[in-house]
Amino acid sequence: MAINYENIPSPCFVLDKSRLIGNLELMNRVQKESGASIILAFKGFAMWSVFPTVRQYLSGATASSLSEARLCFEEMKSKAHTYSPAYLPEEFDEILSYSSHITFNSLKQAETYKDRVMSSPDKVSMGLRVNPGWSDVETMLYNPSAPGSRLGVSDEELSNGLPDYIEGLHFHVLCESPSESLVKVLESFEKLYGKYLGRVKWVNFGGGHLMTKKGYNVELLIDTIRKFKEKYPHLEVILEPGSAAAWDTGVLVSRVLDIVERKGVKTAILDVSFTAHMPDTLEMPYRPRIIGAGDPTEGKPTYKLGGVSCLAGDYMHEYSFDKELNIGDKVIFEDMIHYTMVKTTTFNGITHPSIAIWEKDNSLNVVKEFGYEDFRDRLS
């Protein structure tokens, strides 16, 4: 049964539990048939209220900060595969206590912290992020392989070889990419770093594998990983997708607060904000899908959509709707769970959307509501 939006409070993020489970089942199938380990990337999806469900299918999570590593330990009930462009010295020992793997972004960082890792009471495996030299990401803001990228050691930097204490290699250059892109990345990766694969213990293929999107070639992904593991049977292969877990699993419910018309342009002002609640629509940028609406069509009611913040650019260009909008009408943004809730802000002090789960029995479970204290307490 589809989500019943009529009785959902606005604004509200709503996760469809059945859709989430469907994605996790597919990811688990890839895991089993390919032999890879798949872990969840918190930077794409960190809704910890559903981690008890997630951990039935995935073996852990990746973290990029002390808070994410602690969240993994406390809520995913596993130690994190941790990577950061640079670690804060005062946080490092605590990060280690929550980590099973720790990956460095530079040889200098690895050399700085290796003794602290080796003297840690827990055996934490050290890895190095490398730049495989190829990416299909066209938006430079999201391209880790852009010229001069700060992310990942280049092959030229390893002219003296890979340090003996490094046990794994990590690359991450995809973003909502097809499996064909992974094939090309691996070709470049092996060309540059293949000479080290005989002695390391694991390779992390990073995220961006959008295996749950309709049309994704899942069989090619499985076959590609299998062939890689046949060449290097001693290696553990790790994937860490974020979007794939939560892809198309839920919505952002909003409502119309006002309709203004200026110089022939009608704007429906909503109780949500694109800059505060859907920042990727402006950063990526991308045009979100809306139930009952589409691109401007002659003869249909057409509106620009305005956010409730005071930022001039907090809007989306025109959509045409199936019927006229009125104050109080619901506007439902689709696919708003991955890379959305994790990036929201309390800019302007505007009301942050609640977070809810549409359960398998078609009931609504509101798991989080926000108020003044959430705005106040992150400031000073």
Q: Beta strands 265-270 and 202-204: pairing type? A: unpaired
Give the contacts of 49 (CB within 8 A, at least 6 positions apart).
355, 357, 367, 368
Say which residues have a Cβ less than 8 Å from residue 207's Cβ, sequence separation at least 6: 41, 44, 62, 172, 174, 175, 239, 240, 241, 242, 243
Ligand-binding site membership of 223 (annotated): no
Angstrom distance (rounded) from CA 193 to CA 189: 6
Residue type, 208: G
Buried b (16+ CB within 10 A) or exposed e, 241-250: bbbbbbbbbb
Structure-token match 């995220």, residue found = 207
How does DSSP classify residue 75? Answer: I
* CB-based contact 329:291 (threshold 8 Å): no
- Cα 371 to Cα 210: distance, rounded to the nearest angstrom: 34
Residue 6's identity, in one-letter code, is: E
What span, in angstroms and rounded, lies between the C-alpha atoms of 287 and 127?
37
- Which tokens sit at 135? 């990416």
| DSSP H/E element including 78 | none
State how far the alpha carbon of 276 is from the alpha carbons of 131, 233, 255, in Å.
32, 46, 16
Q: What is the C-alpha separation between 55 and 300, in angstroms, rounded?
A: 46
- Residue list, annotated binding site for substrate: 280
